[in-house]
Chains A and B, each alone.
Chain A
Amino acid sequence: MEGPARTDEDDDDQEDEDEEEERARWMERATHMAQEALENGEVPVGCLMVYNNKIVGMGRNEVNETKNATRHAEMVAIDQVLNWCLRRGKNPTEVFQRTVLYVTVEPCIMCAAALRIMRIPLVVYGCQNERFGGCGSVLNISSDDLPNTGTAFQCIPGHRAKEAVEMLKTFYKQENPNAPKSKVRKLDGHKR
């Protein structure tokens, strides 16, 4: 591919590096959330929502503690952002339309649909979600033509993917030490 003039390329590289650095910073925070989930016996998925360079919502998987299988990290974070809007008298639609989601694992089909309904434009994520992924792995909810389900969103995958996978592996290893309990524990698993 033909590159632009040398100086432009340097600028682009600098911009890319800045963007990359910023993403790495947010993804590190998301990874901490996933770690917290792991420590609480939840599937290690963590995320944060950034609006105007500020964290307006954070979440980690809370399925076990709420006994509600829909309490994935993204759903928890969406509720936090809504609460943030309420406290500051902001219009949620306007806020969500300019919010970026950073999440350690590809959003599942349910969360991808929820993100569409909220009209979040961009999702930066770590590893693929082979079992439930809604951004290409199982279905393409992020980009499919669904005129009555919010708007499509863009994805940037692969940030700190290795770490995200490692945590999931740790989770499923600790979930499985002895066979007898595995039946119930297996049912707790949501995102892998």
Chain B
Amino acid sequence: MKKMEQVQCPVDQHGEGNLVPDPELSSWEALPVLPDHQTQGVELVWAYAIPVLDKKKTSRLVKEVSAVYPLVGQGHLKRVRTCPDKTSPHALEILLCLASPGRDTVEGVRSLSELLPDGQVDRCDLGEPYLVHVPAHPPLTRAQFEEAKRHWPTAFHENKHISSALQGLLFSKEDKAKMQTYMEKAIHTARQGAEKGMKAVGAVVVDPATEDVLAVGHDCSSASNPLLHATMVCIDLVAQRQGRGAYSFNAFPACTISPSGDRAIPSASKSIQPGVMRKFESRRDGLPYICTGYDLYVTSEPCVMCAMALLHSRIQRVFYGASSPDGALGTRYKIHSKEDLNHHFEVFRGILETECCSLDQKKQGQQCGSSQL
């Protein structure tokens, strides 16, 4: 019997400098990296439900009960449900209020007269309250909705964008072909960097509105500048397109920018030297923020520094190939969707994953992420 194929991220067989043969589009998938609250299961909390003894009084009861317990913040929960127990003498149940987690579950269930003490609700048409589990938050995905409504009827406003993303329907075949072209460029650049002795990570900045490649860069980090990761290089190259920037990449001809239409490209400056920065007089102009509306294609998942640099630069979307062990766009953190931060962006992983995984193996050992291993 033939030996089983066991290498998931094959080491590059083609030798450095060779281009990856065009893989079939179907060999990779752009997988959305969604925030935790969109992918997690449904969180449940205890609430009081009360049987409605006289079905005809339901609408009046709902009105009165809602006045006492408006359920602010629980707008996704419906007030009334059909009793799930078909043998029950009553047909409907009203959701009254959330239980207080410590008191009600530990010290026992409160009675109807305790929950509705004054005369605001006519209690004679209500049975004795009991505890039920209800979803704590509105469901965001269809999967969450299906789970939520098994516990209590729940409103659901489907986010079409998230649904399409989860079903893999966000990108057409045409889109995928373009994405593959951009990532191939990033891979090619990574190899050019590796030929110069750099870590084999490459990145490309694209304006999706015009489909122009604005900047191409590879990892330029070394003992004399450990922070020049491919993403940081690309961010500076975009700044250089706008006539500014902080570094010179003349020693790395593979790091390039496309000419910007209306802005002058700064004249060639000194060869790369860590710490040497070109100085410009402070000037304000009305240009949009540096990477606003742009996409980044990068062969491996950005680290914390690079992920936050992309956030500061207001990137629109990031596409990466291979996951990284300390990666900050899915693996260890999801900086792109952290609620406390002032900018959010979309992230997709898995673009030409196999090719990207194989890039940096010689130097990095098992740098491939956990995604498909």
Q: Give chain A interface residues in 135-184, CB to chain B under 8 Å.
A: 138-139, 141, 146-149, 184
The complex places the Cα of A66 from the Cα of B273 at a distance, in Å, of 17
Q: Give chain A interface residues in 54-97, CB to chain B under 8 Å.
A: 62, 64-71, 75-76, 78-86, 91-93
Give 1 or 0 for each of B272-313: 1 = CB within 8 Å of chain A CB: 011111011111101111110000000000011100110111
The answer on a CB contact under 8 Å between A82 and B290 is no
Contacts from A to B (Cβ < 8 Å): 40-42, 62, 64-71, 75-76, 78-86, 91-93, 108-114, 117-118, 131-132, 134, 138-139, 141, 146-149, 184, 187-188, 190
Q: Give chain B interface residues in 295-344, CB to chain A under 8 Å.
A: 303-305, 308-309, 311-314, 324-326, 328, 332-333, 335, 338, 340-342
Mind listing 9 A-B residue pairs with CB under 8 Å?
A62-B246, A65-B283, A66-B239, A66-B244, A67-B244, A83-B274, A83-B275, A114-B227, A147-B326
The answer on a CB contact under 8 Å between A69 and B290 is yes
Contacts from B to A (Cβ < 8 Å): 223-227, 232, 235-236, 239, 242-246, 273-277, 279-284, 286-291, 303-305, 308-309, 311-314, 324-326, 328, 332-333, 335, 338, 340-342
The answer on a CB contact under 8 Å between B333 and A139 is yes
The answer on a CB contact under 8 Å between B235 and A113 is no
A190 to chain B, nearest CB (A): 6
The answer on a CB contact under 8 Å between B281 and A84 is no
The answer on a CB contact under 8 Å between B305 and A113 is yes
B83 to chain A, nearest CB (A): 46
Given contacts A78-B227, A110-B309, A187-B289, contact A65 B304 (CB under 8 A): no
The answer on a CB contact under 8 Å between A79 and B277 is yes
The answer on a CB contact under 8 Å between B289 and A82 is no
Given contacts A110-B312, A113-B304, contact A80 B244 (CB under 8 A): no
Q: Contacts of B290 on A, CB cut-off 8 Å? A: 67-69
The answer on a CB contact under 8 Å between A66 and B305 is no
Q: Contacts of B244 on A, CB cut-off 8 Å? A: 65-68
Shortest 6 CB-CB contacts between residues of A and residues of B: A83-B275, A110-B308, A113-B305, A67-B244, A113-B304, A69-B312
The complex places the Cα of A84 from the Cα of B274 at a distance, in Å, of 9
The complex places the Cα of A184 from the Cα of B285 at a distance, in Å, of 9
The answer on a CB contact under 8 Å between A75 and B227 is yes
Q: Contacts of B324 on A, CB cut-off 8 Å? A: 148
The answer on a CB contact under 8 Å between A138 and B341 is yes
The answer on a CB contact under 8 Å between A132 and B246 is no
The answer on a CB contact under 8 Å between A147 and B313 is no
Given contacts A66-B245, A70-B313, contact A84 B275 (CB under 8 A): yes
A105 to chain B, nearest CB (A): 14
Contacts A68-B245, A109-B335 known; 15 new A-B pairs at CB < 8 A? A62-B246, A67-B245, A69-B291, A69-B309, A70-B309, A71-B246, A76-B277, A78-B227, A79-B275, A113-B305, A113-B308, A134-B304, A139-B335, A149-B305, A190-B312
Q: Contacts of B224 on A, CB cut-off 8 Å? A: 82, 85-86, 92
Which residue in chain B gives the minimum CB-CB distance to A131?
A: B342
The answer on a CB contact under 8 Å between B275 and A108 is no
Q: Contacts of B338 on A, CB cut-off 8 Å? A: 138-139
The answer on a CB contact under 8 Å between A109 and B304 is yes
B198 to chain A, nearest CB (A): 16
The answer on a CB contact under 8 Å between B275 and A80 is yes
The answer on a CB contact under 8 Å between A64 and B282 is yes
Which residue in chain B gives the minimum CB-CB distance to A78?
A: B227
Given contacts A71-B246, A141-B304, contact A86 B273 (CB under 8 A): yes
The complex places the Cα of A148 from the Cα of B313 at a distance, in Å, of 24
Q: Contacts of A92 on B, CB cut-off 8 Å? A: 223-224, 226
A148 to chain B, nearest CB (A): 4
Considering residues A112, A113, A141, which has the most beta carbons from chain B within 10 angstroms of its beta carbon? A113
Q: Contacts of A187 on B, CB cut-off 8 Å? A: 288-289, 314
The answer on a CB contact under 8 Å between B326 and A149 is yes
B236 to chain A, nearest CB (A): 5
Which residue in chain A gives the minimum CB-CB distance to B291?
A: A69
A131 to chain B, nearest CB (A): 6
The complex places the Cα of A187 from the Cα of B236 at a distance, in Å, of 18
Q: Contacts of A184 on B, CB cut-off 8 Å? A: 284, 286
The answer on a CB contact under 8 Å between A68 and B235 is yes
The answer on a CB contact under 8 Å between A83 and B309 is no
The answer on a CB contact under 8 Å between B274 and A79 is yes
The complex places the Cα of A131 from the Cα of B245 at a distance, in Å, of 25
B92 to chain A, nearest CB (A): 46
Q: Contacts of A138 on B, CB cut-off 8 Å? A: 338, 340-341
The complex places the Cα of A26 from the Cα of B236 at a distance, in Å, of 30
Q: Contacts of B235 on A, CB cut-off 8 Å? A: 68-70
Which residue in chain A gives the minimum CB-CB distance to B305?
A: A113
Which residue in chain A gives the minimum CB-CB distance to B227?
A: A114
